[in-house]
């Protein structure tokens, strides 16, 4: 009776691209369920909460704007459903960029595992930062933030938002919430997860704080400023991976990073510490969304200052680490090789020791002197 040998082959291992694509397909199916729900009257009332923005208000046309009515929005509990749906959209877009752009570049460049993960991170974030900067700048220009900076604190609370403003904040919250499942989809290392959680948590804390406290004007300006500096860093890191001699982008980023932290503190103190502190209405009112009280202002300024100090501390450590690595790399090149002479001098030097120094094995050692005397 023939005995079958057990196969020693290991079971097939699913590749990272297959796992990522599989999760993207599942998320796409879930998003399609909400979109198809709009086609049927029974499910349309539920699906519309996830897909479209909620809590809209129509303001009648005034004498100054007699052309058309204004459609504005405020926030509410149903925004969580909208954030959830666009979180699914963010996961799908993330998978598309990963598969059709970043993975193709990775196969061509043959990065190591460490560079591979960092390249994917910088590629995804640089695309998001660039898109958010362009979108946020468009809102700033269209709503005259640049020509009239007093709009940051004037007529607070800013509980009514335009469609672009609210959709911008919903998209920002959805993107940073989508970063949590991406830690699993991207197979992030365990030692990198705490850093990523702190990174994501800080974004959600400040974006949600500006959104809920009706400081959306100030939050938009600070986000555009911060995203521009972060975009420069990640795009410089992408160029560095392709050519390690490229360092100019990091030098420019270092200067703009410090200026960005300084401008963030100036705008925050100017808006919260001076603008809102001089406002007439300084009573806590949840119905109107007025949080202009001393305790809230102190908490807002404290959170911004602590975050900026934390970022500067990380920045200084990063620069010191780069300086040490650069110094360690330059140290071997500074040491010069000992000069080697030719002819009799070199032979004589060899006989007498290393570089002309006398050794116990040389011709003038005590043992040789004793032999000569005898």
In this prediction, residue 59 has a pLDDT band, given cuts at 50, 70 and 90, of confident
In a domain, 334, yes or no: no
Closest CA to 84 of 170, 207, 182: 170
**For residues 301 and 253, what is the distance between their CA atoms, to the nearest angstrom?**
25
In a domain, 2, yes or no: no
Say whether both 238 and 93 belong to one domain. Answer: yes
In this prediction, residue 8 has a pLDDT band, given cuts at 50, 70 and 90, of very low
pLDDT tens string 332-367? 655 555 555 554 444 444 444 434 434 444 444 444
Give percent of the chain above pLDDT 70.
Answer: 80
Can you read off the two tokens belonging to residue 198?
Answer: 């702190």
In this prediction, residue 5 has a pLDDT band, given cuts at 50, 70 and 90, of very low
In a domain, 138, yes or no: yes
Say whether both 181 and 208 belong to one domain. Answer: yes
Say whether both 40 and 109 belong to one domain. Answer: no
Q: Is the pLDDT of residue 173 over 60?
A: yes
In this prediction, residue 370 has a pLDDT band, given cuts at 50, 70 and 90, of very low
pLDDT tens string 246-263? 778 888 999 999 999 999
Say whether both 41 and 71 belong to one domain. Answer: no
Q: Is the pLDDT of residue 164 over 70?
A: yes
Q: Is the pLDDT of residue 278 over 70?
A: yes
Question: pLDDT at position 12, please?
Answer: 47
Say whether both 26 and 158 belong to one domain. Answer: no
In a domain, 259, yes or no: yes
Phi, psi dihedrals of residue 319, rounded to the nearest 5°: -65, -40
Give percent of the chain above pLDDT 90.
Answer: 53
For the residues 291-307, what does the mean pLDDT come to?
95
Say whether both 171 and 218 belong to one domain. Answer: yes
Question: pLDDT at position 16, please?
Answer: 52
Using an 8 Å Cβ cutoff, are 144 and 152 in contact? no
Say whether both 27 and 161 belong to one domain. Answer: no
Question: pLDDT at position 188, please?
Answer: 85
**For residues 45 and 50, what is the distance between their CA atoms, to the nearest angstrom?**
10
Say whether both 80 and 21 belong to one domain. Answer: no
Question: pLDDT at position 310, please?
Answer: 95
Question: pLDDT at position 243, please?
Answer: 78
In a domain, 158, yes or no: yes
Looking at per-residue pLDDT, the higher value among 52 and 110 belongs to: 52
Question: pLDDT at position 179, please?
Answer: 95
Q: Is the pLDDT of residue 67 over 90?
A: no
Mean pLDDT comparison of 141-150, 154-163, 171-180, 276-285, highest-scoring range: 171-180
For the residues 21-32, what does the mean pLDDT come to?
82
For the residues 315-342, what does the mean pLDDT come to?
71
Full-model pTM: 0.81
For the residues 57-79, what does the mean pLDDT come to?
78
Q: Print the domain residue range for 199.
A: 51-59+67-327
Among the ranges given (72-76, 95-99, 115-119, 324-328), the one the predictor scored with the smallest mean pLDDT? 324-328
Q: Is the pLDDT of residue 269 over 70?
A: yes
For the residues 41-69, what does the mean pLDDT come to?
81
Say whether both 182 and 88 belong to one domain. Answer: yes
Say whether both 85 and 147 belong to one domain. Answer: yes
In a domain, 348, yes or no: no
In a domain, 350, yes or no: no
Q: Which of 327, 353, 368 is the last residue of a domain?
A: 327
Say whether both 130 and 20 belong to one domain. Answer: no
Question: pLDDT at position 200, please?
Answer: 96
Say whether both 55 and 32 belong to one domain. Answer: no
pLDDT tens string 228-238? 999 999 999 99
Question: pLDDT at position 316, please?
Answer: 94
In a domain, 368, yes or no: no
Question: pLDDT at position 349, please?
Answer: 43
Instruction: Tell me how many domains the chain contains.
Output: 2
């Amino acid at each position: 009776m023939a005995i079958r040998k057990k196969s020693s082959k290991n079971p097939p291992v699913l590749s990272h691209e297959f796992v990522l694509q599989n999760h993207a397909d599942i998320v796409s199916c879930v998003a399609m369920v909400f979109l198809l729900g709009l086609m049927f009257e029974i499910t349309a009332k539920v699906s519309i909460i996830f897909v479209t923005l909620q809590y809209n208000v129509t303001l009648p046309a005034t004498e100054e704007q007699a052309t058309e009515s204004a459609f504005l929005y405020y926030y509410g509990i149903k925004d969580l459903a909208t954030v959830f749906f666009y979180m699914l959209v963010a996961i799908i877009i993330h998978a598309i960029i990963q598969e059709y752009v970043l993975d193709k570049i990775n196969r061509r460049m043959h990065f190591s595992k460490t560079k591979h993960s960092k390249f994917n991170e910088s590629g995804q974030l640089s695309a998001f930062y660039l898109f958010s900067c362009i979108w946020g700048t468009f809102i700033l220009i269209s709503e005259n933030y640049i020509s009239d900076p007093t709009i940051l604190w004037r007529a607070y609370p800013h509980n009514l938002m335009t469609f672009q403003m609210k959709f911008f904040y919903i998209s920002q919250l959805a993107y940073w919430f989508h970063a949590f499942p991406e830690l699993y989809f991207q197979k992030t290392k365990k030692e990198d997860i705490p850093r990523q959680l702190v990174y994501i948590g800080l974004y959600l804390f400040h974006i949600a704080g500006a959104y809920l406290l009706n400081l959306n004007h100030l939050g938009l300006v600070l986000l555009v400023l911060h995203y521009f500096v972060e975009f420069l860093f990640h795009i410089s890191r992408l160029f560095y991976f392709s050519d390690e001699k490229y360092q100019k982008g990091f030098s420019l980023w270092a200067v703009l990073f410090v200026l960005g932290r300084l401008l963030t503190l100036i705008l925050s103190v100017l808006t919260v510490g001076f603008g809102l502190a001089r406002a007439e209405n300084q009573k806590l009112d949840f119905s109107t969304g007025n949080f202009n009280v001393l305790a809230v202002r102190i908490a807002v300024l404290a959170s911004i200052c602590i975050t900026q100090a934390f970022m500067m501390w990380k920045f200084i450590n990063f620069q010191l680490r780069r300086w040490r690595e650069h110094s360690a790399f330059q140290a071997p090149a500074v040491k010069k090789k000992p000069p080697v002479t030719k002819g009799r001098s070199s032979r004589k030097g060899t006989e007498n020791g290393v570089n002309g120094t006398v050794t116990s094995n040389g011709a003038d050692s005590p043992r040789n002197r004793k032999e000569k005397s005898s």
